[in-house]
Amino acid sequence: MSRIQWLWKALKVFRFLFHSLGFLQLRFSRSRRLYTHRYNCCRYIPCLFVACILLLHQMARQRLEMENALMNSLETDSRPPTDGFSVRCEYLQSLMYLAAMIWSLIRHKSLWQLVNQSQMAYKQLKTLLGRHLILECSWQALVYGGALLLLLFLMGYKTFWLDFPLIEHPQRRVLTASDMHNIANYLMGVPQLVFVLLIALHILYHLLHAGWLQSLQNLRLDRNLKCFQLLLRMLYPLQRRLNLLAGLYFRVTYDCFVCLIAIRIVAFARLLRFDATQVLQQQKSRDDLEDEAAWNGKNLRDLTAPEQLLRESMYLLAWHLALWLLLLAAAHLQQSEYQSLIGHCWQESRIPPFKGRKVPFGEDILDIMASIVPLFIPLKTIVFLLQFQSQICAFDHQRVSICFLSRRIGKRTCFVTLNTALGQWKLRLNLVIGLAVVYFVQQSEIKQLQSYLWQREHE
């Protein structure tokens, strides 16, 4: 089995999932050997189900806050105070999940156009070349696909196994507000999974697109004008059109994902601040900690240490940054294959014909161009004139960077390049590294100070 077949099997799994979620309902026509788009009103049911989960989570959160406030009014400090930052973060995350899902439902035609134009381009090239068209991708793309599966597995293991809700008193058969909140947090794994599937489809699109470009580069056109013109049409207008459609469909999902990463960075930074209470807690003995936990009505094992909270926040932020990096790496792989294919096309006209093979006049590239321009014109100019003869717009060439996100498609096309997105990732990564370094230096100084005070006391 070829390497690209593994990515194709993963795409079939995503097709089933997106058909079940109502994002893209495809049906295969055996007579035309093509996929058709047929959607119905039932496609909105999964979105309504996710909206109900988000609403249930907010209601459970409010009910828990009301119960904590009531218990604190009856007995002071009997329940932990409400963390306003975590409440706002949960509310923003719910809005991000809902906005991404609604946008994906609204823009389902953009995804269908992306699929339709891709399959029509493959069918056209397959009809012309037949068995000479061999699809293959690089090992790098396959490694990126394996990394994506690993991140999805870690996300599913953490969401549906480690975060399984625990009922405080199951023998009572009565759910408290805390139990309802734990169950609602567990059900929030469904919107998170849908959101991550949208990001994963974006990654898989770039990997398959990179494999398609590499397959075009491996073609042996034998200086055939018709094949070369078809290659130019797929390289310039079709590639730009596909990138614009993908950028428009995944735009809101990517923006929401970047906002979620910003929230994770802020939550991670809040745990890096200096707290004198934590320093005092470290100086207490185990008996004092047990007495304090018993006074609060809890067990010492149930108390979450600050180091554990910091570790969980760091792991969660690292997972998000890794997924973001994988998305940008897949897009960068597509950009590299695109630029490599352009360089290959510029050198195609210089390849001599095979010995013993007679090329009919009128089908050879240089024979056609010799009747139009002299031979001393530069090669890039010859390719540009060939684009003009093939009715290919020169503005479809993505010179520096490919289109990564697009705001609109039409006369006033607006898009964001991949290099801009890479700059955003580097900025946030430098911010996280800077915060971690400052916290490490701060903790080192605190430990040195504590050791110095301990030595002074025992002298």
Tokens of residue 148, six digits = 């994506």
Asked if pLDDT for residue 366 goes beyond 50, the answer is no
Quick one: pLDDT at residue 363? 45
Confidence of residue 273 (pLDDT cuts 50, 70, 90): confident
CA gap 406, 412 in Å, rounded: 11
Tens-place pLDDT, residues 191-246:
999 999 999 999 999 999 999 888 888 876 655 666 766 777 777 778 888 888 99
Tens-place pLDDT, residues 8-23:
999 999 999 999 898 9
Backbone angles phi, psi at 407, to 5 degrees: -90, -35
* Domain assignment of residue 303, yes or no: no
More confident site: 322 or 384: 322
* Domain assignment of residue 215, yes or no: yes
CA gap 142, 203 in Å, rounded: 12
CA-CA distances (angstroms) from residue 311 to 85, 142, 216, 266, 441? 19, 31, 46, 15, 17
Asked if pLDDT for residue 103 goes beyond 90, the answer is yes
Domain limits for position 53: 3-295+321-351+360-457
pTM for this model (two decimals): 0.85
Tens-place pLDDT, residues 320-363:
999 999 999 999 999 999 888 877 766 654 444 434 444 443 44
* Domain assignment of residue 316, yes or no: no
Quick one: pLDDT at residue 181? 86
Contact in structure between 261 and 321 (CB atoms under 8 Å): yes
Contact in structure between 249 and 110 (CB atoms under 8 Å): yes
Confidence of residue 98 (pLDDT cuts 50, 70, 90): very high
* Domain assignment of residue 314, yes or no: no
* Domain assignment of residue 301, yes or no: no
Task: Tell me what percent of the residues of the chain surpass a pLDDT of 70.
Answer: 74
Contact in structure between 43 and 22 (CB atoms under 8 Å): yes
Quick one: pLDDT at residue 84? 82
Tokens of residue 26, six digits = 């495809």
* Domain assignment of residue 161, yes or no: yes
More confident site: 356 or 394: 394
- Taking residues 245-253, report their average pLDDT: 93
**Average pLDDT over the chain, rounded to an integer:** 80
Quick one: pLDDT at residue 278? 59
Quick one: pLDDT at residue 350? 46
More confident site: 233 or 66: 66
- Taking residues 368-389, report their average pLDDT: 52
Instruction: Kindly tell me the burial class for residue 299, based on how many C-beta atoms sit within 10 Å of its own C-beta (0-12, 13-18, 19 or more).
Output: exposed
CA-CA distances (angstroms) from residue 205 to 137, 246, 424? 13, 8, 21
More confident site: 222 or 455: 455
Quick one: pLDDT at residue 370? 46
CA gap 317, 432 in Å, rounded: 9
- Taking residues 137-143, report their average pLDDT: 92
* Domain assignment of residue 310, yes or no: no
Confidence of residue 296 (pLDDT cuts 50, 70, 90): low
CA gap 397, 73 in Å, rounded: 67
Number of domains in the chain: 1
* Domain assignment of residue 304, yes or no: no
Confidence of residue 254 (pLDDT cuts 50, 70, 90): very high
